[in-house]
Amino acid sequence: MSALPLLQVDAFADGPFTGNPAAVVLLDGPREAAWMQAVAAEMNLSETAFIEPRPDGFGLRWFTPEVEVALCGHATLASAHALWETGRLPREETARFHTRSGLLTAALLDARIELDFPQRPAERVAEIGDLPRALGAAVLELHRSSEDWLALLDSEAVVRALAPDFPALRTLGARGVIVTAAAAPGSAHHFVSRFFGAGVGIDEDPVTGSAHCVLAPFWGARLGLSEMIGYQASRRGGTVGVALAGERVKLTGRAVTRSRGEHLC
């Protein structure tokens, strides 16, 4: 029996017990997808990341307890943090991850980590359908990105108060539903959001980096800004800085290690 290092990291965390926890498994070589899926189910977090060393960086894959996903922000942030924390990558070096969504990078900026991700613009659709009933709130506008629905709601208060019908959300034919609204006047944030990932087995994700790849161009166009601060108003909550850069978006946040251990295999 061998042992692989495993860290649990809170990503996009503003303090203790905030942000989105991810497990990071530091592999010593290739592993079968079925094994990784079984480990992710055992960890039972929204995402478990698997990092495999390569000559030109690291292979990175992400699994929910039910499926492999094509892009995950918080587990990428956690993965970069784990590499620097364990000394597998010098802190002054940029982490290079080869993923199903292409090359992603992460750089350490003082206490924050900056991710370089692809934008995922959303297009407005005319027919809102059953989404308001599933959310339990009026939808002002509905947009569709490559994987998710994006619903614009009336206010921050409405976003925070939502109690969706999750079985109904699972029938909408998407990875998930992003709900968003402008931040309340006087807030330190430009916009708020929540993410319901019923399509991948996660009723609500605490803080979702990949959703901000959709939110950044959406709010950038509405507000006329290229740099903004988003707050994901889940029960744990977390702050995501976003900056538009051509067809890419820079996501920034903090990470903290909550536990270290070994996965026996």
Question: Which H, E and C letters describe the chain, residue by residue?
Answer: CCEEEEEEEEECCCCCCCCEEEEEEECCCCCCHHHHHHHHHHHCCCEEEEEEEECCEEEEEEECCCCEECCCHHHHHHHHHHHHHCCCCCCCCCEEEEECCEEEEEEEECCEEEEEEECCCCEEECCCCCHHHHHCCCCCEEEECCCEEEEECCCHHHHHHCCCCHHHHCCCCCCEEEEEEECCCCCCCCEEEEEEEHHHCEEEECCCHHHHHHHHHHHHHHHCCCEEEEEECCCCCEEEEEEEECCEEEEEECEEEEEEEEEEC
68 is catalytic: no
- Identified catalytic residue from 47, 114, 147, 204: 47
Which residues are identified as catalytic?
Answer: 47
